[in-house]
Amino acid sequence: ETGVTQSPTHLIKTRGQQVTLRCSSQSGHNTVSWYQQALGQGPQFIFQYYREEENGRGNFPPRFSGLQFPNYSSELNVNALELDDSALYLCASSFGGTVAKNIQYFGAGTRLSVL
Amino acid sequence: DQQVKQNSPSLSVQEGRISILNCDYTNSMFDYFLWYKKYPAEGPTFLISISSIKDKNEDGRFTVFLNKSAKHLSLHIVPSQPGDSAVYFCAASGDPSGTYKYIFGTGTRLKVLA
C-alpha cells in the first residue's frame, strides 16, 4: 500500500507568479484535502475533492484552485502569488468524502517560499 | 476565530512519566476529534481519534479523553518515550454543510527527556 506523496518537496517562486503542487493519494482513497500550514500554526483547510468534484472550501480566495483526476490524484494551483502564501502545503487523502469518520492521511508536504 | 485551541505551546516530560496534552474547542457541532503527531520534515501522522458519543478511547500507550460539557479533550501518553518527542496537533471535525474538513489547533511541542 503506497502512502500519500507530494511533489515537489520545496519550491521558490517570486511574487505574482503561479504555482502548481501535486499530490498522489493513498491507494484505495477517493478523497483529497489540501491544507496550508504557516510557520507556528496548525494546518488550515483550503478545499477538498471527492470523486473529482470540489466537496467544500475553506476561507481562501479564488486564486487558490484545485483539480482531482480520475485516478484520484490532485493538484493545487495558486495564481498571483503573495508573500503570505509562503507556507507548507499539505495534502491528505481519505476514503469516502461524505463520511466524517474516515481518517485523513497526510503527505510530507511541499514547502513554498514566495520572494 | 480559533475554534480549536491548544494553549500550551510546549511541554517537557521525563522518560517513563505521563504526558498530558490538552485541547479546547468552541464549536458544539464538532462530533469527531483526532490527534496527529508531526516530526520535522514529515507530514502529520494519525495517532488516535474519538467520536463524540464516547468519552475515552485507548490505543496502547495513548488514551484520548473527551469532556463534551467542558468542550475539552486531552491526550495521555503513558509511559512517555524519547521517540514521542514531536509536535502534537488536535483536530476536530463535524460540519452540517457536509464538508468534512478538519479544524486544527496550533500544536504542542512535546519533549521527552531521557
CB-based contacts of B74: which residues, under 8 Å, 6+ apart? B20, B21, B22, B23, B64, B65
Closest CA to A58 of A82, A86, A90: A90
- Quick: pLDDT tens for B5-38: 999 999 999 999 999 999 999 988 888 999 999 9
What's the gap in Å between the CA of A30 and the closest CA on chain B? 14
How far apart (Å, rounded) are the C-alpha atoms in residues A73 and A49?
Answer: 10
pLDDT tens for chain A, 115 residues: list them. 568 999 999 999 999 999 999 999 988 888 999 999 999 899 999 999 988 999 889 999 999 999 999 988 999 999 999 999 999 999 999 887 555 567 899 999 999 999 9
For B49, the 3-state DSSP assignment is strand
What's the gap in Å between the CA of A79 and the closest CA on chain B? 23
Radius of gyration of chain B (CA): 14
Closest CA to A27 of A103, A96, A93: A93
Radius of gyration of chain A (CA): 13
User: What is the bridge-based pairing of β-strands A105-106 and A87-94?
Assistant: antiparallel
The parts of chain B modelled with pLDDT lower than 50 are none
DSSP state of A103: P
Interface test with A, best of B6, B10, B99 (most A CBs within 10 A): B99
Q: Which residues of chain B lie closer than 8 angstroms to A58, CB-CB?
A: 101
CA distances from A97 to A50, B83, B96 (A): 5, 33, 14
Facing residue for A45 by CB, picked from B31, B34, B101: B101
Q: Which residues of chain A lie closer than 8 angstroms to B102, CB-CB?
A: 33, 35, 43, 45, 92, 104
